[in-house]
Chains A and B, each alone.
Chain A
Amino acid sequence: MKYVNEFRNGDIAAKLARVIASEVNTDRNYRLMEFCGGHTHAIFRFGIQDLMPDNVNFIHGPGCPVCVLPKGRIDSAIKLLQEHDVILCTYADLIRVPASKQMSLLKAKADGADIRMVYSTQDALNIARQNPERQVVFFAIGFETTTPPTTVAIQQAKQQGLSNFSVFCNHLLTPPAMRHILQQDGDQSANIDGILGPSHVSTIIGSQAYNFCATEYHIPIVIAGFEPLDVMQSTLMLIRQLNNDSVTVENEYTRVVTPKGNRKAQALMQEVFELRPTFEWRGLGMMPDSALQIRDAYAEWNTEKRFDVESIVSSDVKNCLCPAILRGLNKPTDCTLFGTVCTPENPMGACMVSSEGSCAAYWSYGRFRQPGLRASQLEKSV
Chain B
Amino acid sequence: MIVSVILIPFITGILVPVIPFQKRWQKEVFLETAVVLNSILVWYLLLHHSDSTFLLAHFTGNLNISFRVDGMSMVFAGLVSALWPFATLYAFEYMTKEEHENVFFLFYTLTYGVTLGIALAANLLTMYFFYELLTLVTVPLVMHTLTREAVLASRKYLYYSLGGAAFAFLGLIMVIVYGSTTDFILGGVLDPAKTAGKNNVLLLIYVMAFLGFGVKAAVCPFNSWLPQAGVAPTPVTALLHAVAVVKSGAFAIIRLTYYSFGTDFLQGTWAQDVVMTIVMFTIIYGCSRAVKETHLKRRLAYSTISNLSYILFGAVIMTPLGLVGALTHLVFHAVMKITSFFCAGAVMHQTDRHYVHELNGLGYKMPRVFGIFTISALALMGVPGLAGFISKWNLAGAAVESGNPLAWGGIACLLVSALLTAVYMLTIVVRAFFPGKDFDYSTVSDIRDPNWKMLLPLFVFTVCIVLFGVYSQPIVDFFMSVAEGAV
Q: Do A and B come from one complex?
A: no
B→A interface (CB under 8 Å): none
A→B interface (CB under 8 Å): none
